[in-house]
Amino acid sequence: VQPIAQGLTDLINEQEGLYTLYLRGSENGQKVDRKRVISSVSLELLAKAQELKAASGNAEEVTAVLLGHGVEHLTAPLIAQGADTVILAEHPYLVPYKPRTYKKALVELAQKYKPSIFLLPSTPLGRDLAPRVMCALNTGLTADAIDLSFDEDGLFVHTTPAYGGNVLVNIAIPEQRPQMVTVRPLVFSPLTPDPSRASKVIRETVDAEDDPDYVLVAYDTTLDYRKMCQVCDHIRYGKP
């Protein structure tokens, strides 16, 4: 957690809303347009965000950020499984994933909408992107959280394993926004899809720039991060 100077009450109070990020890439050098690119961990984050919203007295709106190109059809499953709002930002340079390109787009959106809490999946891509966004926004980041809650004072608390998983540590970022957290897969359960859920889609234009220093030379479809996690599904954190 990165501490900052005091006296930012006004800045903190104007930032509200829960964001979670959805990422889209490519397969064998080609753009993919399949619904499976929304991973289960992303839907898990939406479910937990709705739980946090209820715990806060519905004071926060759950917003999903969808980046890519030609991905508007993916807004429907996000809405059906927990997103109150979907911010859709499309640009040809957002395919395939390039760290600096995605960072610039996300920072631009975060500075405009000022989320209070920003959740990202603790996947290889999420772990690559989250600290870049954190540094650009001059905020703090908790990595690999396994639980999220509000304490008795209403402070947003993120629980993460430490010292090789031997202890659980509660972390908070009380003085800066957004409060950024990456969350491990298979910790929360996705909501049952509800096609009747009302929501809104905000179409945004981002100033995406190509990154000529980053070149995708191969995309290995044999490594599925979700399947790797499911192998260890019997491992649980916390008290027995």
Q: pLDDT digit string (tens) for 56-69?
A: 888 789 999 999 88
Mean pLDDT of 10-28: 53
* Full strand arrangement of the beta sheet holding 147-150: 147-150, 156-162, 167-171
Closest by alpha carbon to 21, among 178, 197, 176?
178
CA-to-CA distance for 103 and 232, rounded, in angstroms? 31
Tokens describing residue 230: 């499911």
For the chain, percent of residues with pLDDT exceeding 90: 41
Higher-confidence residue of 213 and 45: namely 45
pTM beyond 0.85: no
| CA 117 to centroid of chain Cα atoms | 9
Q: What is the mean pLDDT of the chain?
A: 79
Other beta carbons less than 10 A from residue 71's beta carbon = 21
Distance CA 155, CA 185 (A): 23
